[in-house]
Amino acid sequence: MKSKNFKIKDFDFEYLAVFVFLFCGLFSEYHTISAQNNLPPAPVIDLSKNPNIDYYSQQDFNADTQFWSVTEDAEAVMYFGNNDGIVIFDGSHWTTVALTNSSSVRSLAKGVDGTIYAGGYNELGYIEHNEFGDYRFISLKESLQLQNLSFENIWQIDVIKERVIFRSFKKLFVLENGNVTQIPSKNSFIKSFVVGDRYFVQDANEGLYELNLDKNQISEYFSAEAMGNHSIVYISKDFDLITSNGKIFETNQKSLSLKQSIFEDTNDQIISVLSLDDSIFLLGTLSEGIKVLKKEGEGYQVSYINSANDKTVLNLYKTSNGNVWALLDSGLEFLNYNSPRTTIFNQASVYDTYWDKDYFYVATNKGVYYSALVNQEINPNSFKKLNDIPGQAWSFDELNDELFINHDKGLFKLTNGFSSEKIGSVNGVWKTIKLKNYPNTYLVCTYEGIYILKNEGGNWGIRNKVQGFDESSRDILATHNPNVFWICHGYKGVYKITLDKQLERAIAIDHFTEKNGLPAKFNINVFKWQDETVFSTNNGVYKFDEYDKRFKPYKPLNKLIDTTRNPRTIIDAKDKTWIVQDDELGYFLTNSDNPKIQSDIFLQTKGTFNRGMESITPLSENRLLVGTHNGLFLYNLSNTIRQEGVQTFFTKITYNRDQNTVNLPVDKDSIVEISNNLNSIKFSFATPSMVNNQNIKFSYKLENVDKDWSSWQHLAFKEYSLLTPGNYVFKVKSKNVLGNESNIASYQFYIRSKWYQSGMAYVGYAIIFLLLLITGQQLLAKKIKKENQKSILKEQRANKLLQLEINQLKLVQDKEKIEKDKKHLQRDIIEKSKELANYTMLLVNKKNFFDQLQEDLKELKQISKNKQSSQKILEIFKKMHRNNIDEQYLQVFDNNFESIHHEFFINLKHKIPNLSKKELRLSAFIKMELSNKDIAPLLGISIRGVETARYRLRKKLNLEHDDNLMEFFESLMN
């Protein structure tokens, strides 16, 4: 009863490795595509029980996790009462507004004029939305003169015509035309209800009361005894009462009778009730999540909405678009009843599906699940597991009206709907296909080749293995020729095998890789499309040319798809072609004159497919089953509400200036002027009124900056930096998953020019430019003239330099001559100095001779007895005295040496002005390079005396012991 078109890639790992690898979710090389023919009517699903659910956690709204109340404004912006205040959601951005006293917000409601009212602990007021897109809470306590009244929490706000009624446990505050009427409770107002234009409130242990709106007075409607002291949570328009403990009462002329009890086997409680329509109600419970109460005949049927999130539902709210918000004790759930996607199964990763008239089956990574069909309706909450074959189930096949399960552990036949029987001992079965021209004979495609399955007299058995081919045969497709098959291997390329007539061995195997025209031997799949055999690759679709024996690009599909992505799955089903490109599902009308792939509706499944084994099952023209990692979903393409006139609007517009953020009005029709010192400008936008406002994408452009509209993206803001002065128009539009586009929102603004960018400034710049041009010409002429003068001066200078060089050359020559003469003079000085020293030595010797002669004469005079002789000796003494040379020789030395070494003596006396004459002579002798032995007689002292004199001279000259006196004297000359 089931025809299958599988697309499966090869895999060449060992049995256990394959199982572990795939079980961990890392296997990415195959897929399952199923389509059923001659089956019972396609299963259906009740959307009231199974809407598409999106969960919002604290990471999304960034506030406390507990919510109490909810409402929406005229633009479909949602307001949630939270422990941190009022949490506002425009479909793209979350904002939190605190009450004046920072209390939690227990109640919210929208007035007939669109005002959003809020109530908290000892606080009530409304929310203001200013021109800059900011929200704030405005308290009414002072204007209503309630500032000194303690009324504790406002638990509920109801609106009837022009009246806004705030309910606390102690009082009702009826606000009308700026005036408030207070109605006290007898015990405690625990719940209020609006039925048509009537207002009811329950007073604990007192009964149900109705408010007379003309007199603002309450009167008893049902006594507590008449209601059995039950707490009412809902009153229908037919005046059926639902109580918190799950009792449904019907009324008859103010009498109550029990109609049905919802909680017969549980002690759960109902917290809130929401009417979807006249016959379907949602019940928010304390511990069992959301229940569905469906009116059928005189009674109600109870089911529940399957959700893995928080099971405590504090409130329920139906939006203007027909969707539902569930306020949880921990987070928020959005129940999208307008979504084209419905969850059918979410307990495992789905690989294939099958149904008959009694059951719906799902093949998963955890085994096979099934659910009983009642009137062909799937109950997503009733799936059970076949416990006898756990583990990876790949696919289903219907053979001779019997259901077979292709499993990691082998081939199983399902019997009696709930038990299984293994056929043969083969493990790792991908799929089973029927053979042409061989009655009751099938190919079993496994991890390690192909086996022959036979049904003989109602008995199933594995006859033999096909010898000669041991590759994984999951992706197999029969050709028009008998016993010839295409097999794609995930890593090795494409095989074309031919089996012998006895089906015992492969008698021909052709192996094709990139050498045969394929772009690569990896990720190749084979399909039937429009009766053509086509192969998908990482670079588009190819077809095998039998004449050239090569693979060539297949243009009919390549012109539609993105050839940079792998079209892993291609299904030709009636008027549509379904295709998965990498991880994105889409479709196009096969016979359209201008086909275009539509994929927006499937964005929620993007990235969740079992790669290479996508489960895509068309049920009808507009209904499709899609299996993913996250479960099984039903897509209904007819559930695509077209909206006209939906408006994207700006939620916030700011620009940065000097590290400060400046707000701009968001609803300005005229051009907004902005100062010229901005760094960047940021636009935030949203489209909350879109029926399917989850996963909305935006496209925008800034005129005079962007040439075209941007690509569609989820970011709900755009920022531009360093814009130049001028006029700009920013435009933005949005699109939901159904492809519905909103109207374009525009914002005009003008960035003022800086003073140096104004028109007058540019006129001034032009005048200055002309002046600079004239001045430049004059300066250029002067410069040319000056350059000419410079050239002349340069030539003159060159001549002068040449003359100077000549003169310099002469000076060098003169200097060389002077140096030569100087050296000659120095040599002469040295010679003269030596001659002077020698002459001085002669004088010293002569003086010594005279001294000795005088001594001899003295001795002669003493021994002479002759008077005449004595007289003669005395005359000799007188002559010697007249010719006494005593100090004359030293004076001669001083004068001559000083004249020869004039500069030396001047420098020495300037350096040390207190030198004695004797020390000057010693310095002169040292300068003449005389030894101590030569100096001693010149100074008339011993050699030891010369050493002492040199030591004292060194002290006066401040020289160290190791310092050389000769070097010091040379330095004086330099």
Q: Which residue has the higher pLDDT, 253 or 203?
A: 203
pLDDT for 297: 79
Q: Are 221 and 212 in contact (CB under 8 A)?
A: no
Least confident residue range of 3-7, 499-503, 774-778, 791-795: 3-7
| Higher per-residue confidence, 262 vs 364 | 364
pLDDT score of 570 more than 50: yes
Which of 907 and 748 is assigned the larger pLDDT?
748
Strand order in the sheet with 290-296: 270-275, 280-285, 290-296, 299-304
Side chain identity at 215, as an amino acid letter?
Answer: K
| Closest-CA residue to 404 (of 354, 446, 343, 462) | 354
Mean pLDDT confidence for 592-605: 88
* pLDDT tens for each residue of 903-918: 777 887 777 888 887 8
Evaluate whether 535 touches 487 at the Cβ level (below 8 Å). Answer: no
What's the pLDDT score for residue 410?
A: 96
| Segment among 226-235, 561-570, 827-836, 909-918 with least mean pLDDT | 827-836
Distance CA 141, CA 123 (A): 7
For 42, phi then psi, to 5°, come to: -60, 140
Using the predicted structure, report yes or no on whether residue 490 has a pLDDT greater than 60: yes
Q: What is the pLDDT of residue 888?
A: 58
Q: Is residue 11 within 8 Å of 402, Cβ to Cβ? A: no
- From the list 624, 599, 574, 21, the residue with the least C-alpha distance to 353 is 624
Residue 745, both tokens: 């929102």
Comparison of pLDDT for 898 and 399, the residue scoring more: 399
- The tokens describing 336, both together, are 């999208």
Task: Look at 420-434, 581-595, 735-749, 926-940 and tell me which has the smallest mean pLDDT.
Answer: 926-940
Q: Where does the pLDDT of residue 956 fall: very low under 50, low under 70, confident under 90, or very high at 90 and above?
A: confident
258 HSE (CA, 13 A, CB side)? 9
What is the per-residue pLDDT for 893? 65
Least confident window among 76-85, 720-729, 821-830, 835-844? 835-844
Confidence of residue 855 (pLDDT cuts 50, 70, 90): confident
pLDDT, position 152: 94
CA distances from 523 to 13, 72, 488, 529 (A): 16, 50, 9, 18
Q: Return the pLDDT at 63.
A: 96
Q: How far apart are CA 487 and CA 511, in angstroms?
A: 10
Residue 550 is predicted with a pLDDT of 96
Query: 950: pLDDT confidence band, cut at 50, 70 and 90?
Result: confident
pLDDT value for 599: 87
Per-residue pLDDT reduced to its tens digit, 686-705: 999 887 766 789 999 999 89
Is residue 233 classed exposed, middle or buried when 0-12, 13-18 and 19+ CB atoms within 10 A define those classes? buried
Q: What is the pLDDT of residue 31?
A: 36
* 73 has a pLDDT exceeding 90: yes
Q: How many CA atoms lie within 13 A of 863 on its CB side?
A: 5
Residue environment code for 905-936, b if the CB has 16+ CB neighbours within 10 A, otherwise e = bebbeeeeeebeeebbbbbbbbbbebebeebb
Interatomic CA distance for residues 847 and 853, integer angstroms: 10
Residue 603 has what DSSP assignment? G
Residues 6+ apart with CB under 8 A from 209: 200, 201, 202, 203, 218, 219, 220, 221
Return the bridge partners of 700, or none.
Answer: 732
- Tell me what percent of the residues of the chain surpass a pLDDT of 90: 53
Plot region of 526 (φ>0 → left; ψ -120 to 50 → alpha; else → beta):
beta
Residue 806, classed as helix, strand or coil, is: helix
- In eight-state DSSP terms, residue 404 is E
Q: Give the tens place of pLDDT for each residue, 156-205.
A: 999 998 899 999 999 999 999 999 999 999 999 999 999 999 999 999 99
Q: CA–CA distance from 67 to each of 302, 314, 327, 507 (Å)? A: 26, 7, 6, 71
pLDDT, tens digit (0-9, with 9 covering 90-100), for 41-68: 778 777 667 788 889 999 999 999 999 9
pLDDT at 5 over 50: no
At residue 844, the pLDDT reads 67
Q: What is the DSSP letter of 964?
A: -
Region 571-581 average pLDDT? 92
Predicted confidence at residue 33, as pLDDT, reads 38
Average pLDDT score over the chain: 86
517-529 pLDDT tens trace:
999 999 999 999 9
Spacing of C-alpha 579 from chain mean position: 30
DSSP string, 891-921: HHHHHHHHHHTHHHHHHHHHH-TT--HHHHH
Read off the pLDDT of residues 132-156 as tens digits, 9 standing for 90 and up: 999 999 999 999 999 999 999 999 9
- Taking only Cα atoms into account, the Rg of the chain, rounded to an integer number of angstroms, comes to 57
Full 3-state SS string of 368-403? EEEEECECCECCHHHCEECCCCCCCEEEEEEECCEE
Q: How far apart are CA 334 and CA 683, in angstroms?
A: 27
pLDDT at 474 over 60: yes
What is the chain's length?
974
CA distance 513 to 522: 9
d(CA 963, CA 968): 8
CA 402 – CA 841 distance, rounded (Å): 151
* More confident: 899 or 275: 275
What pLDDT, on a 0 to 100 scale, did the predictor assign at position 945? 86
Show Cβ contacts of residue 755 under 8 Å, excluding neighbours closer than 6 positions.
761
CB of 858 closer than 8 Å to CB of 870: no
Residue 306 vs residue 376, higher pLDDT: 376
Inter-residue contact 192 to 231 (CB < 8 Å): no
**Helix, strand, coil abundance in the chain, percent, nearest 5:** 20, 40, 40
Those residues whose C-beta lies under 8 Å from the C-beta of residue 317, and which sit 6 or more positions away, are 70, 71, 72, 274, 324, 325, 327
pLDDT score of 124: 97
Q: Kindly report the CA angle at 759 between 753 and 761, in degrees rounded to 5?
A: 85
The better pLDDT of the pair 318, 675 is held by 318
Residue 891 has what pLDDT? 66
Q: What is the pLDDT of residue 269?
A: 94
Rounded Cα–Cα distance for residues 466 and 451 (Å) = 6
Beta strands at 672-674 and 660-664: parallel, antiparallel or unpaired: unpaired
pLDDT score of 342: 86
**Model pTM greater than 0.85?**
no
Could you tell me the pLDDT band of residue 900, with boundaries at 50, 70 and 90? low
Is the pLDDT score of 17 beyond 50? no
Interatomic CA distance for residues 858 and 837, integer angstroms:
31
The per-residue pLDDT for 830 is 66
In the chain, % of residues over pLDDT 70: 90
Q: Is the per-residue pLDDT at 254 higher than 90?
A: no
Lowest mean pLDDT among 643-657, 659-673, 831-845: 831-845
Does residue 23 have a pLDDT over 50?
no
Q: Which helix (H) or strand (E) holds 19?
A: helix 15-23
> Which residues on neighbouring strands pair with residue 454, listed in sequence order?
441, 461
Residue 20 has pLDDT above 70, yes or no: no
Q: Which residues contact 7 (CB under 8 A, 6 or more apart)?
A: 30, 31, 32, 33, 475, 525, 526, 527, 568, 569, 570
- In 3D, which of 659, 660, 662 has the Cα closest to residue 751? 662
Quote the tokens at residue 885: 């040379």
Distances (CA, A) of 913 to 110, 255, 630, 907, 916: 114, 143, 111, 10, 9
Residue pLDDT, tens place only, 767-787: 988 999 998 888 888 888 888
Q: If you average pLDDT over residues 888-892, what whole number do you get?
A: 61
Q: What is the pLDDT of residue 1?
A: 40
Rounded CA-CA distance 199/164 in Å is 11
Q: Which residues contact 785 (CB under 8 A, 6 or more apart)?
A: none
692: closest CA among 78, 52, 87, 79?
Answer: 52
Contact 697, 73 (CB under 8 A): no
Angle, helices 917-927 vs 932-939, to 10°: value is 150
